[in-house]
């Protein structure tokens, strides 16, 4: 019984630490986006209360999915970093780094990579659902790229809705090529692992920052934690950031969130 209790405590401590690290990162952007929308509503008292409340709920749901996915990304980076630390001769005797257990590689990496694909796809669907509602007031129950394109098919040519739609077509889902843009890559990976086959990772020797060599699970030539961050997390954040001035008529302000940061802006 004691071993089970201690195991549960250790598992919880790991999740708690990941949560705390995530809270110090993605939540800053989360709060700035929510406040930018609130500021926009304050400048447009003519908007219906139902529209504002629905928009708030949809945006909060999308940003929560972003936080879920970012938290898994932290776990993926931690596994890679531990492998780096194990072979670092300068740290021997300073840290009690747990040894690698049998067959944990690439099982743990595959598990988190698989989970991250589902969460980033969910974020994208949730955010597209929010965008459609905020721009067109159309509520789509089950979001898809087809439904998203359909909702924007008749928006005015010189409008924020058209600007948002063009951004998606250029940087997220490219109609002309299914092999480029991060939304297409995400759909390809996620749909394959959801419906067809297990993820296939390539084990490759990678040089660490301190000059040692470790065997790492990779995809498209990158360690998977970096692949997820560079391909999905960074691009999702850039999209959220770039949409702030388009959707809410305020500039994105770098630095820490402050409740008064948009005061005085119209």
Give the tens place of pLDDT for each residue, 4-48.
999 999 999 999 999 888 876 777 889 999 999 999 999 999 999
Which residues share a beta bridge with 218?
202, 223
Regions in the chain scoring below 50 on pLDDT: none
> For position 262, what pLDDT does the model report?
84
Flag whether the pTM goes above 0.85. yes
Q: List, in sequence order, every beta strand (DSSP E) within the chain.
A: 202-207, 213-219, 222-223
Cβ–Cβ < 8 Å for 113, 79: no
């Amino acid at each position: 019984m004691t071993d089970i209790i201690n195991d549960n405590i250790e598992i919880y401590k790991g999740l708690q630490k990941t949560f705390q690290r995530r809270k110090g990162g993605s939540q800053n952007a989360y709060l700035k986006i929510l406040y930018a929308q609130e500021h926009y509503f304050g400048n447009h008292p003519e908007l219906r209360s139902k529209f504002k409340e629905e928009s708030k709920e949809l945006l909060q749901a999308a940003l929560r999915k972003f936080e879920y996915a970012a938290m898994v990304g932290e776990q993926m980076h931690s596994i890679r970093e531990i492998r780096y630390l194990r072979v670092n001769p300068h740290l021997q005797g300073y840290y009690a780094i747990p040894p690698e257990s049998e067959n944990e590689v690439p099982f743990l990496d595959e598990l988190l990579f698989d989970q991250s694909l589902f969460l980033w796809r969910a974020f994208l669907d949730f955010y597209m659902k929010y965008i459609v509602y905020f721009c067109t007031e159309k509520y789509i129950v089950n979001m898809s790229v087809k439904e998203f394109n359909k909702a924007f098919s008749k928006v005015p040519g010189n409008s924020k809705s058209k600007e948002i739609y063009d951004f998606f077509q250029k940087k997220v889902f490219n109609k002309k090529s299914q092999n480029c843009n991060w939304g297409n890559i995400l759909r390809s990976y996620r749909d394959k692992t959801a419906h067809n086959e297990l993820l296939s990772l390539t084990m490759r020797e990678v040089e660490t920052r301190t000059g040692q060599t470790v065997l790492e699970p990779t995809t498209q030539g990158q360690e998977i934690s970096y692949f997820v961050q560079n391909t999905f997390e960074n691009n999702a954040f850039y999209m959220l950031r770039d949409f702030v001035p388009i959707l809410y008529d305020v500039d994105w302000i770098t630095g820490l969130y402050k409740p008064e940061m948009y005061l005085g802006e119209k």
